[in-house]
Amino acid sequence: MHDADKIGAVTLRVAQWGAGLKFRDIPENVITYAKLLLLDGIGCTVFGSQRQAGRSLFEFVAGSGNEKPEATIWGYGRKVGTRAAGLVNGTAAHTTNIGDTHRATLLHTNYITPQAAIAVAEKEGKRGRDIITAIIAGNEVGTRAGIAVHIALEGGYFTPESRGWHSTGTIGALAAAVSAGRLLGLNADKMVQAMVMGGAQLTGMYRPCGPYMGKHWYAGKAVANGIESAYLASSGFIAGYRLFEDGLCYGSGIISPVHELEAASRRLGTTWETLNVDMAIYPAKKTYYPNLDAVLHIVKSEKIRFKDIDKIVVRSAFMTSHAFGAFYEPRNATEAFNSLRHAIAAAAHDGEYGFAQLEKKKFSDPEILAFAKDRIEIIRDPELEKLLPEKWPGAADVYTKDGRHFFKRFDYHIGQVQNPIPKEEVGNKFRQMASMVGDKNADAIIDMIDDFERLDDISRLTRLFRPMKARTVV
C-alpha cells in the first residue's frame, strides 16, 4: 500500500497513471494524432541536425570521448550513449522552431518525448506500440504539469511581470522522464523517483536566451535529463517525494506564484491533452503565425504584387510579449526568425514563408530590408487581446499604392487544432525538412510512422535517419 502522504496524493496519482498506461487504453484518434506529431518531430530533428545549434551539439558530443553506441543521432546516423543522443536530438529539433506547441503551456512536445522515447527504445529493443504509448504518457503528464504551474501565464515570459520560464526546458525533463520510465517498465514507486528527478531539474530562463541558441539547448538538456532520471530511478535511486505538493505547486511556487495542484492529475486517461497540441508551418515565433496567415491570405487571394504594396499594418495581440520597436537588420537566420518585420516583409515579397525565407539571400535582401524598416507598422490591438487566451488571434491591413485597402483576421492560425493542417500537408512538410535523407527514405519513414504500432524493430526506422546529401547550415 502506497503512503499518499509521504509521496503526495497528486504525485502518486500521476506516477501510477504514467506507469500503468497501456496501448489499448489510448483512443484511436489520440494515437493517430500522436503519430502525426511524431513524424513532425522526426522531421524537425533531422533538419535541425544541420543547423548551427544542432551541429554544435553533435560536435560537442562527438568530441567528448568514446560513447557506447546505444542510440542514434538523427541526421548523422552515428550512435552514441542514450543520454548524449537525447541531448543532441532535442537541441536539433528545437533549432528549427517549426514543431508543435501545446497552446495552454507552450510546451513543444515533439522536441522532447519522441527524442527521449526512441533513444531509450533503441537501447532496450522496444516496439513501436511501446514507443507511442510512452510518448503519449510523457505528453499527458508534461502538459498537465505546465497547466498546473501556470507556466505560460504568471510563470512565462509574455508580460514583464511574469517569471520568465521557457516551458520546454522547464517542464520538458518531466515529460521525458515519464516517457523513458514507461519504456523501462518502471513501477509506480520508481516512476515517482523518475518524476521527482525530471521535475526538479528546471532548465530555461527565457529572456536572456530566447532570441538565441540557448533555448534550443534547453530542449536537449530536458531530453537528456529525463532519460538520466528514468535510468537512475530504475536502479533504485531515491531522489525524494511530493514533486507537485512540496515542489512545483508549493507556497509561492518556484515556477509561478499561481498554481493549481489538482490540475496535474485532472482527468488523466479521460481527456487527452495530446489532442490540444498545435502544429506549425512557419519557421517563426508562434505569436507571428496569425499575422503571417493574414498577410499571405491577402497577397494570394487578391493577387497583389510586392511592388504595388504601399504599407502593411500588423495588428498584434502579443505586443507585451516581445519588443516590436525599431527594426534591426538580421545578421543570421536566428535573428531573422525572431524579427516580425522581416517575416512579414519576406512573406509579402515572396508570397510564401518557409525555410527559404530564412536564407542569407533573403535576410540580407535590400528590397526586403527596406520594406521591413519603412513600410511595416506594428500596432497593439486591444480587441484582439480580449480574445486571449481562448483564441490565438492576429490581423493585418495591406494598403496598395493605388489606394486599395485589404483587411484579414485569423482567430486561429493554420495548424491549430481548430484550423488543422491536412495529413497530406504534414507529409509534404516532413519531406521538405527531411530531404537530406533522400526521397525514398523519407517516404519509407512516413509509411513506418503511419503503421508505427506494428513496427517490431525500431532500428529499421532509425537507420533511415542517415543523410544522403548535405544541407546548407543556417
Return the axis-axis angle of helices 423-433 and 28-48, rounded to nearest 10°: 20
> Which residue, among 280, 272, 278, has the nearest Cα to 31 in the 3D structure?
272
**Strand pairing partners for 377?**
313
Instruction: Say whether pLDDT at 328 is over 50.
Output: yes
Main-chain dihedrals φ then ψ at residue 92, nearest 5 degrees: -60, -45
Q: Cβ distance 304 to 398 under 8 Å?
A: yes
Percentage of the chain lying above the pLDDT 90 cut: 87
Within 184-266, where are the H helices? 188-200, 206-209, 214-234
Query: Number of structural domains, the chain?
Result: 2
- Residues 195, 300 within the same domain: no
Output 455-461 pairs: Cβ under 8 A, ≥24 positions apart.
Answer: 455/127, 455/128, 456/127, 456/128, 458/118, 458/121, 458/122, 458/125, 458/126, 458/127, 458/128, 458/131, 459/122, 461/118
Residue 473: the pLDDT is 44
Residue 354: CATH number of its domain: 3.30.1330.120
- Residues 54, 201 within the same domain: yes
Instruction: Say whether pLDDT at 472 is over 50.
Output: no
**pTM higher than 0.95:** no
pLDDT per residue as tens digits for the range 279-300: 999 988 889 999 999 999 999 9
Please identify, among 353, 375, 410, the residue that sits at the C-terminal boundary of a domain.
Answer: 410
Please identify, among 364, 385, 410, the residue that sits at the C-terminal boundary of a domain.
Answer: 410
**What H or E segment, with its residue span, contains residue 62?**
helix 52-62
Tell me if 436 is assigned to some domain.
no
Its domain, for residue 162, covers 4-278
Higher pLDDT, 337 or 448: 448
Q: Cβ distance 372 to 339 under 8 Å?
A: yes
Tell me if 245 is assigned to some domain.
yes
DSSP state of 24: G
Most distant pair of Cα atoms in the chain: their distance:
77
Tell me if 469 is assigned to some domain.
no
Residue 220: CATH number of its domain: 1.10.4100.10
Instruction: Say whether pLDDT at 115 is over 50.
Output: yes
> Which residue, among 222, 255, 35, has the nearest Cα to 145 in the 3D structure?
255
Please identify, among 217, 246, 278, the residue that sits at the C-terminal boundary of a domain.
Answer: 278
CA distances to 232, 304, 419 from 355, rounded to whole Å, are: 39, 22, 22
Tell me if 449 is assigned to some domain.
no
Average pLDDT, the chain: 94
- Work out the average pLDDT over 322-342: 83
DSSP state of 213: T
Instruction: Say whether pLDDT at 213 is over 80.
Output: yes
> Using CA atoms, how far apart are residues 328 and 136, in angstroms rounded to an integer?
41
